[in-house]
Amino acid sequence: MPIRVPDPLIPVFLKATRANRPFVSEAGAHQRILERTLRPASYGPPGRLRGVRVERRVPNPLGWPVYDVKPEDGGHASVVVYVHGGGWVNEMSLPHWRLMARIARESGQRVVAPIYPLVPFGTARLVRDGVVELVRAELEAGNEVRLAGDSAGGQIALSVALGLRDRGIILSSTVLLSPALDLSWKNPRIDAVQPSDPWLGRPGGRVLAEAWRGPDPIEDPVVSPLFGDMSGLGPLTILTGTRDVLNPDAQILRDKAGTAGVQVAWHEAEGQLHVYALLPTETGEQGTRTIVESLQPSNGMLGASM
């Protein structure tokens, strides 16, 4: 039985581990970029993930590591491309691997995990284009593709969905957990949420966003997908917590997509933190179930619609 942590202990843990250091100050963000440049972190899978097999693709035309997480008992002719978060500076971590294993195990689908280049080597357009090609290759192989991402990976995932839409490809499901959407950080409602968010912050967030945008303007939808035209997108599922400074932008996305005629399943968790579905809490477990259900092959969309 998985160990569940009471919600109030999560902010204590974040403070003790200084998880907010890259976000609360510009200096903290620059320091994290330097640290990750000099001492790259491991991104590989843990030694064992229940009910799945993990295979690394070799060779890989993208030039990035790409992993396939496969259910042990076969699976459907469909895949989920999962784009991990981490502020565009942190590698895939154990909670991501566990979530991908659960998606594969419970949905019977192969989960494709690109290990994309981070700042200062990766940029929004480079990674968007790479993931678009990864999805297109799966489609050309005859697989149905669903897309998911958390935090910075949510920014990439929505930018990819928009890029695919522009190429005439509509995905049956895109799931976004606490997505970064407007990298200008200009939403005035961030100030109201900031005192309750123990994790993210505008000063470091702006530094990381500036490094990630590369040569593109910060309001280009490749960088900040909230500025894109949402019309014609396939169904979206959005999960967000109210103690997350990214929550105000998620609300704008909900309304903008709904107005554009996009089917939206909205899951707002009162009092929950950033990427709460990755946390080892009871509410996190509920969020994980929502993600897995929303990516089921038989379901283009589950949840409350706008």
The values of phi and psi at residue 147, to 5°, are: -130, 140
**Which structure tokens are listed for 31?**
């320091």
Spatial strand order of the sheet with 66-71 comes to 52-56, 66-71, 110-114, 78-83, 144-150, 174-177, 236-241, 264-269
Q: Which of 25, 78, 107, 151 is catalytic?
A: 151
SS3 of 13-56 = HHHHCCCCHHHHCHHHHHHHHHHHHHCCCCCCCCCCCCCEEEEE
Determine how many CB atoms are found less than 10 A away from the CB of residue 25: 15
Active-site residue 172, yes or no?
A: no
- Write down the residue that tokens 């994309």 correspond to: 116
Name residues whose C-beta falls within 8 Å of residue 8's C-beta, 6 or more positions apart in sequence: none
Determine how many CB atoms are found less than 10 A away from the CB of residue 169: 15
**Which structure tokens are listed for 43?**
């991104």
Catalytic positions, written as ranges: 151
